[in-house]
Amino acid sequence: MSVTATQKRGLGSAIWDYLTTVDHKKIAHLYLAGGGLFFILGGIEALLIRIQLMKPENDFVSAGLYNEIITMHGTTMIFLAAMPLLLGLMNAAMPLQIGARDVAFPFLNSLGFWLFMLGGILLNCSWFMGGAPDAGWTAYAPLSTTSPGHGVDFYILGLQIAGAGTLMGGINFLVTIINMRAPGMTYMRMPLFTWTTFITSILILFAFPALTIGLFLLMFERLFGAAFFDVSLGGNAIIWQHLFWIFGHPEVYILILPCFGVFSDVFSTFSRKRLFGYTAMVFSTIVIAFLGFMVWAHHMFTVGLGPVANTIFSVATMAIAVPTGVKIFNWLATLWGGRITVNSAMLWSLAFIPSFTIGGMTGVMVATVAADYQYHDTYFVIAHFHYVIVGGTVFGIFAGLHYWWPKMFGRILNEALGKTAFWLFFIGFHLTFFIQHFLGLMGMPRRYWVFLEDQGLDTGNLISSIGAFFMAAGVIIFFINIIYTAAKGEKVSGDPYDGRTLEWSIASPPPHYNFKQLPLVRGLDPLWIEKMEGNGKMTPAEPLGDIHMPNNSFIPFMISFGLFIAGFGFIYHNDNMIGTIAMFGGMAIALLSMLTRSVKDDLGYHISKEELEKEAE
């Protein structure tokens, strides 16, 4: 396949191209599209929740449907929206930031995406096949083991398949960052987003196996008659909670750390300063990841673990406030005295600081065991984690999208629309969740489908629901912005922000081989160093030569599709013959695809030196 052959094509070949692509930039587009789709679904579910709770004793949805909606809202937002959107940003920016031509395992990258996508679709098929999971996004046993119907089975299989994809993504990024940095790009010269991608990938590698095991136990309990969590048969229901939170707590750091990286890059670019306290930023990220594995039981203070266990986990949890505080002050110091440009990416980042700090503060409050008995399972907790996840992760995703959009698509997102979307979302967000702190303190329990009249909860819930519509309006305007930009957006050069890191040293959108010649990195913020020394562009570290590229492959889709079919099979194999056939058939498709991959040599292709020279014209 030559470079010119990919230039002109119809819609069909474009779809085929995306189905088979192993290019990290196109996989980033796929992740963003898939994550965006599920973000809309999760958002609709959120709106349904807020409509139901708009007035006392509302009957907009039934109690059973409400349980399904809250379960799917949480599951979708965490696993199918936030994580893939972050993986999309990582795929789009990280290889460029370290001066690599692709990730270490392009095939695996594609497989990771298709597993996530088909796992997510499998989970959402439950809506049309007898009801969605209804045991909460945490799926606590015995509620999840005794939930009737197939809802929870869809949760298990869907997350198992999507989780395998995420695990692959994490391993891929780790190997990429360890092995594929450009000459001179030492660890302590990596941009903060690359660092946080690295640490996040370590967290994925160590945390996801706990989820995998938990889901396997639950699967065997529900579908094959095992009794790991069944107390009457000698099991222990608490094991699920431990396994889930051993995964679940690192998971929230998986969600927030990449965003810390986005903010660090955005702040330093738009303050025209190098990041204040770079080393402290790197090590505070490592410390957060390290402590993140020692705090899972703070989700279980009211389970009855005893005062000693509760105290240990409480102290460990509060300790995390220290490295996080270091970060907050470093960002403020980066802004201090900088020549600040306030655009949309910067607005999301600036708004993140106070919003996330509020979430961190309530975090220390709920980490206090004695007080947590009051907060537990109330709207106070809902308010807390939405302040950190929306105020941290969602703001970070929007900041990252605005920041890297010109790099990904060659057009910059419209600023007026971007700022309108920001203000609507920002106001809506605080309107929705700030009041929930007080609803929680007044004793409104979470997960209940109705509340009673005249208990002091009416006004607060109405305000909260109004805020949700503001957030929805903000998101809609953001999507309008995307369409507008695709149609009429302003085209920009490779370096629209006078950037500091390697991704801004190449064209926008980058050629599919990224760097014609690998750049020579001479320090932190490599492009900025060259600009300050009057070179203006990176010095190549190698002569122009042939570039080895991987071939596209349809096999990742086939493997994922096989597991998708097998997922349905596992769910229905106790019910009818078709289920059993699907189980074996799906596994056969997946395993045969893997076999094909193993026996068929695929050595990729070379872009010749002559072609590269011709392209420069």
Q: Number of H helices and number of E strands within the chain?
A: 22, 4
DSSP per position, 220-257: HHHHS---SS-GGGT--THHHHHHHHHHHHHHHHHHHH
Q: For another protein, which residue of 238, 318, 473, 476 counts as binding (CB under 8 A)?
A: 238
- Strands 490-491, 547-549: pairing kind: unpaired
Which CB sits closer to another protein, 41 or 211?
Answer: 211
DSSP string, 381-437: HHHHHHHHIIIIIIHHHHHHHHHHHHHHHSEEPPHHHHHHHHHHHHHHHHHHHHHHH
Nearer to another protein, 313 or 570 (CB): 313
Which stretch, 129-137, 305-313, 394-402, 555-563, contacts another protein (CB under 8 A)?
Answer: 305-313
- Helix or strand or coil: residue 548? strand
Among 178, 416, 483, 532, binds another protein (CB under 8 A): 178
Q: CB-hemisphere CA count at 13 Å for 184? A: 18
| Gap between the Cα atoms of 306 and 312, Å rounded | 10
C-alpha–C-alpha distance, residues 555 and 561, integer Å: 10
Cβ closest to another protein, residue 206 vs residue 216: 206
Selected range binding another protein among 205-213, 264-272, 395-403, 581-589, rule: CB under 8 A? 205-213
Q: Which of 209, 45, 202, 207 is nearest to 137 (CA)?
A: 45
- Least Cα distance to 490 among 415, 548, 436, 434 occurs for 415
The residue from 236, 311, 493, 551 that contacts another protein (CB under 8 A) is 236
Residues 263-302: x/- map of binding to another protein (CB under 8 A)? Answer: ------------------------------xx-xx-----
Q: Quick check: 244 binds another protein (CB under 8 A)? A: no
Question: ∠ CA(185), CA(189), CA(194), 5° rounding?
Answer: 90
What are the φ and ψ backbone dihedral angles of 523, each rounded to 5 degrees?
A: 165, -175
455 binds another protein (CB under 8 A): no
Mask for 116-155, x = binds another protein (CB under 8 A): ----------------------------------------
Which residue from 18, 206, 438, 584 is in contact with another protein, where contact means CB under 8 A?
206
497-516 binders of another protein (CB under 8 A)? none
Count of CA atoms in the C-beta half-sphere (13 A) of 44: 5
| Residue among 242, 273, 327, 402 that touches another protein (CB under 8 A) | 242
Q: Whole-number minimum distance, CB 205 to another protein, in Å?
A: 7
Total binding residues toward another protein, as defined by CB under 8 A: 19
- For another protein, the binding residue among 205, 319, 371, 441 (CB under 8 A) is 205
Residue 90's Cβ-count burial label (10 Å; 0-12, 13-18, 19+) is buried
Cβ of residue 78: shortest distance to another protein, in angstroms?
Answer: 20
- Contacts with another protein, residue ranges (CB under 8 A): 174, 178, 202, 205-207, 210, 236, 238-239, 242, 246, 293-294, 296-297, 305-306, 309
